């Protein structure tokens, strides 16, 4: 019992539950299918990003280039598919965007591991360069007529319900992608040598090297994986909003990092869980999506997220300090 009480995830879950009850108590529209389905839908892109950020943070690094990579991969993919008038399987755009994301991620890994640079600076640089390159050479126009497979994907629901007024709402199938990625990531981190290597690296890179871990290889794995996830998230994002806008997603990196930290990951590396991260994402999405329901103006969302982030991390830090004594 004590073990459960000392877990960050348990408290996050409680906060999530309490917050839901408060919002639902004030405005019962919160519990409507429309709202809940839309909350889940909006957690997909952020959740995929967060899984990537989690693994980087676990390794003791940080990545703020992933939104730029996501935009780069989906925009080029969509533009190319429109050019060849693509109508094939949805897997192709995903594979393309992933490949682009991986290539960009490996570039991060190469720079970070070769020149031993601070990942914050490197990803700040590559993110900015990639964004600029995209706008200068590929285009700045919004593509609103997506290829048919992407439109089909956005309409894919695993469950639909017809409301009294005759409108149809559905639980987006894209959530399955997030769910699958959550399971895969949890397995990678818990049950593979590579995953344990990420924890080891984040704790002490010299010791990880001494233990025989191929440290450079782990860097390539991590940043490549982040790139792949960024590619997936990019395609999901543009397909869900049915728009490929090269100016999208800018600034989401901070929100995602906030969610991961809220989920209990330590910015110094080596500590954090997939479950915590997922709960952190849900919490941020809940705050963002529900404050409007209780009549709090949307400008206050940012304030609320900031306050939650600071109070949650200070509670964790305070508990750690107490335990240390």
Please report whether residue 61 would count as binding another protein according to CB under 8 A: no
Burial 282-298 (b: 16+ CB within 10 A, else e): bbbbbbbbbbebeeeee
Please report whether residue 197 would count as binding another protein according to CB under 8 A: yes
Q: Taking phi first (over 0 means left), then psi (-120 to 50 degrees means alpha), and beta for anything else, what does residue 100 get?
A: alpha
Please select the residue that binds another protein; options are 17, 26, 121, 207, rule is CB under 8 A. Answer: 207
Please select the residue that binds another protein; options are 206, 297, 322, 325, rule is CB under 8 A. Answer: 206
Please report whether residue 87 would count as binding another protein according to CB under 8 A: no
Please report whether residue 322 would count as binding another protein according to CB under 8 A: no
Please report whether residue 193 would count as binding another protein according to CB under 8 A: yes
Whether the CA torsion 227, 232, 235, 239 is positive or negative: it is negative
Query: How many residues make contact with another protein (CB under 8 A)?
Result: 26
Q: Residues 273, 27: contact at Cβ < 8 Å?
A: no
With respect to another protein, which residue has the nearer C-beta, 67 or 269?
269
Please report whether residue 196 would count as binding another protein according to CB under 8 A: yes
With respect to another protein, which residue has the nearer C-beta, 6 or 142?
6
Which stretch in 145-153, 207-215, 230-238, 297-305 sits in contact with another protein by CB under 8 A?
Answer: 207-215
- Residue 234: is it exposed, middle or buried by C-beta count within 10 angstroms (0-12/13-18/19+)? buried
The CB-side HSE value for 2 (13 A sphere, CA atoms) comes to 0
Three-class secondary structure of residue 44 per DSSP? helix
What are the angstrom distances between the C-alpha of 137 and each of 66, 110, 133, 204? 20, 24, 6, 41
Please report whether residue 194 would count as binding another protein according to CB under 8 A: yes
Please report whether residue 270 would count as binding another protein according to CB under 8 A: yes
Please report whether residue 55 would count as binding another protein according to CB under 8 A: no
Which stretch in 49-57, 99-107, 192-200, 232-240 sits in contact with another protein by CB under 8 A?
Answer: 192-200
With respect to another protein, which residue has the nearer C-beta, 189 or 232?
189
Which stretch in 19-27, 43-51, 121-129, 211-219 sits in contact with another protein by CB under 8 A?
Answer: 211-219
Please report whether residue 297 would count as binding another protein according to CB under 8 A: no
CA angle 125, 128, 130 (to 5 degrees): 105
How many whole angstroms from its chain centre is CA 154? 19
**Which residues in this chain contact another protein in the complex, by CB under 8 A?**
190-197, 199-200, 202-204, 206-214, 216-217, 270-271
């Amino acid at each position: 019992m004590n073990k459960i009480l000392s877990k960050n995830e348990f408290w996050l879950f409680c906060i999530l539950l309490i917050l839901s009850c408060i919002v639902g108590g004030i405005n019962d529209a919160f519990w409507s299918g429309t709202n809940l389905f839309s909350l889940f839908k909006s957690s997909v892109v952020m959740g995929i990003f967060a899984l990537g950020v989690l693994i980087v943070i676990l390794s003791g690094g940080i990545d703020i280039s992933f939104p730029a990579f996501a935009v780069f991969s989906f925009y080029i993919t969509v533009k190319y598919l429109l050019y060849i008038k693509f109508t094939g399987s949805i897997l192709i755009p995903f594979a393309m965007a992933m490949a682009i994301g991986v290539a960009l991620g490996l570039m991060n890994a190469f720079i970070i591991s070769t020149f031993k640079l601070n990942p914050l600076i490197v990803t700040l640089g590559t993110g900015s360069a990639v964004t600029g390159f995209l706008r200068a050479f590929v285009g700045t126009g919004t593509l609103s007529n997506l290829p048919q497979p992407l439109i089909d994907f956005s309409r894919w629901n695993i469950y639909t319900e017809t409301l009294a007024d005759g409108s149809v709402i559905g639980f987006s199938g894209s959530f399955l992608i997030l769910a699958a990625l959550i399971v895969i990531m949890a397995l990678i981190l818990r049950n593979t040598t590579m995953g344990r290597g990420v924890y080891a690296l984040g704790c002490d890179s010299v010791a990880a090297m001494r233990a025989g871990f191929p440290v450079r290889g782990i860097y390539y794995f991590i940043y490549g994986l982040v790139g792949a996830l960024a590619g997936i998230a990019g395609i999901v994002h543009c397909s869900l909003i049915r728009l490929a806008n090269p100016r999208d997603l800018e600034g989401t990196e901070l929100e995602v990092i906030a969610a991961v930290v809220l989920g209990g990951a330590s910015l110094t590396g080596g500590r954090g869980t997939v479950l915590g991260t997922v709960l952190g994402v849900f919490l941020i999405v809940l705050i963002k999506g529900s404050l409007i329901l209780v009549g709090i103006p949307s400008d206050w969302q940012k304030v609320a997220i900031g306050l939650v982030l600071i109070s949650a991390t200070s509670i964790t830090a305070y508990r750690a300090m107490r335990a240390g004594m």
